[in-house]
Structure 1
Amino acid sequence: MTTFGPDVVAAVARHMNDDHADDCRIICQGLGGQPRATAARVSGMDDEAMEFVATVDGAPVPVRIPFRARLTERRQIRAEAARMYREACETLGVTPRADAS
């Protein structure tokens, strides 16, 4: 059983997709093994990973990126998403946004 209910998953997906679309793409490029992704959206999440649908060569590709550790509280989600973004930037040699904390 997942720690997070469908309402939490929907809220996280909505926030990431509406406010951090470029971050989602960078995460999929740098950590999700999809360096040619031109876009990505959060499609789901559980306590072990965030799931995306990346657009690669015009086609949707599912991407599941594990969290560093199992999440047990909602407040951990933001920190883990920010960590994933920063690590993806480092992998890609991209300077992260100044507010990515």
Structure 2
Amino acid sequence: MSAPNPFPPEVVAAVMRHMNTDHADDCRLICQGLGGRPTATAATMSGMDAEAMYFAATVDGAPVPVRVSFSAPLTERRQIRAEAARMYREACAALGLTPRPDAS
């Protein structure tokens, strides 16, 4: 059973705008390392709820939906940044890459 989404549409839109503008490469890495799409050449965040971030990854030239779960359901906006950074660091580890030092 899904947890209710505690984030109104304007919060989701702001997070998506930030991720897609400032962290486009991180979105791709998250899809490659945690989303089961190792051949993704690009990805954009397409949504989120209390349990996961959603992406549209480009695989073989076509958009593919990708869901990457949070470590636990989120209840507050301040938790989003920490979870996005965790996803990035874990994706880097899964791909054998060194994360940026500022990814905390």
SS at structure 2 position matched to 1:70: coil
**Which residue is 1:55 aligned to?**
58
Alignment match of 1:22 (pick from 14, 25, 32): 25
Contiguous gaps of at least 5 residues in structure 1: none
Structure 1 residue corresponding to 2:13, chosen from 4, 10, 15? 10
TM-superposed deviation, 1:98: 1.3
Name the CA distance, whole Å, in 2 between partners of 1:5 and 1:98. 31
Q: What amino acid does structure 1 have at the position aligned with 2:13?
A: A
The percent identity for this pair of structures is 77
- Residue in 1 aligned with 2:84? 81
Q: Are residues 1:36 and 2:39 paired?
A: yes
Q: Hey, what's the Cα distance between the residues in 2 that align with 1:99 and 1:55?
A: 26
What is the identity, as a one-letter code, of the residue corresponding to 1:2? N
* TM score, norm. by length of structure 1: 0.99
Q: Structure 2 length normalisation: TM-score?
A: 0.96
**Structure 2 segments unaligned to the other structure (5+ residues):** none
State how far apart, in whole Å, the 1-side matches of 2:24 and 2:100 are.
13
AA at the equivalent of 1:61: V
Determine helix, strand or coil for the equivalent of 2:32: helix
Q: Give structure 1 regions of 4+ aligned residues with deviation exceeding 2 angstroms.
A: none
